[in-house]
Amino acid sequence: MTAHERADIASARRVVVKVGSSSISGENAGKIGPIVEALAAAHGRGTEVVLVSSGAIATGMPFLALGERPSDLATQQAAAAVGQNVLIYQYQAALRPFEIVAGQVLLTAGDLENPTHRSNARRAMERLLGLRILPIVNENDTVATHEIRFGDNDRLAALVAQLIGADALILLSDIECLYTRPPGEPGARPIRHVAYDDDLHGFEFGSVVVNSVGTGGAATKVSAAKLAAASGIGVLVTSADLVDRALTGDDLGTWFAPSPDPATAVTGPISSVRSA
């Protein structure tokens, strides 16, 4: 059932949840446990959950003695190769008490543009969900080029939600909701509801925020949310600390209402939505 309002998330058949690097690495590495607990609770209620998780590069950095995110592609790829292995182990260890098995799915933008690869990815994920496996999706950063800067996986999450026909998409952030301008600035107001045809061009969303472990920002989340909403998928943007409440349909965060006529919505090819 498509989630038309926040409350519908609690009864949604299939939900995609995206978490960023800054929410699960470094001093926040301990948040993997609470996030997994919330996903496991939804899984236990019968919801089919897919997790899109950034964090491979950030997780691999300490093992390469890197104090900040590398700027050159080869070192990013090396950090991702090490970090993806550790990251999936951390998730599986957290899932073990709930007797849930994780399945790793690594994708690039090219996989979702190529019809054969796209069909294969959909079939594999459908089968994983049918087997009650929790797919954990990330970009294949070890072989990626510009995709490593693909909006911190926000767009990937929207495209995965499209791919598997999700009923709702939850984009986890560092703040409880989006604001009309950066929340630290005077006059910033929270945005609670975005109708499908709302024009957000008057708001000042940061285009990209880069910290020591990841890339992303409010603008990438808005772009991804609008992309998913155009396909008839309701989207909630909220804090990673509130993921349990988000999955039970609480009144929080910023809700992007889905298109009432997704069959005629035009989302365009992946290459046309990379820029926020």
pLDDT digit string, tens, across residues 96-105: 999 999 999 9
> Does residue 51 register a pLDDT over 90?
yes
Question: Does residue 74 fall inside a structural domain?
Answer: yes
**153 Cβ partners below 8 Å, 6+ apart?**
18, 20, 52, 53, 54, 138, 139, 216
**Number of independent structural domains in the chain:** 1
Could you tell me what percent of the chain has a pLDDT over 70? 86
Tell me which of 67-81, 227-241, 261-275 is least confident. Answer: 261-275
pLDDT at residue 146 tops 60: no
Instruction: Round to whole Å and give the CA distance between 24 and 58.
Output: 9
- As a whole number of angstroms, the distance between CA 145 and CA 19 comes to 21
What pLDDT shows up at residue 147?
43
Residue 229 exposure: Cα atoms within 13 Å on the Cβ side: 26
Q: With respect to residue 263, please indicate whether it lies within any of the assigned structural domains.
A: yes
Domain hosting 201: range is 6-273
* Structural tokens at position 145: 């080029």
Helix (H) / strand (E) containing 219: helix 218-230
Q: Please say whether the dihedral angle defined by the alpha carbons of residues 42, 43, 47 and 52, taken in this order, is positive or negative.
A: positive
| Residue 1 falls inside a structural domain | no
Is residue 80 assigned to a domain?
Answer: yes
Please compute the mean of the pLDDT values over residues 194-213 and round it to a whole number. 64
CA distance 41 to 135: 15
Least Cα distance to 105 among 228, 171, 16 occurs for: 16
Query: 152, 214 in Cβ contact below 8 A?
Result: yes
pLDDT in tens, 61-113: 999 999 888 888 899 889 999 999 999 999 999 999 999 999 999 998 778 88
Gap between the Cα atoms of 169 and 223, Å rounded: 13
Inform me whether the pLDDT recorded for 151 exceeds 70. no
Amino acid at 139: E
Residue 3 tokens, joined: 């989630």
**75 lies in some domain:** yes
Residue 269's pLDDT band, with cuts at 50, 70 and 90, is: very low
**pLDDT at residue 213 in the model:** 45
**Which CATH number is 193's domain given?**
3.40.1160.10
- The pLDDT assigned to 145 comes to 62
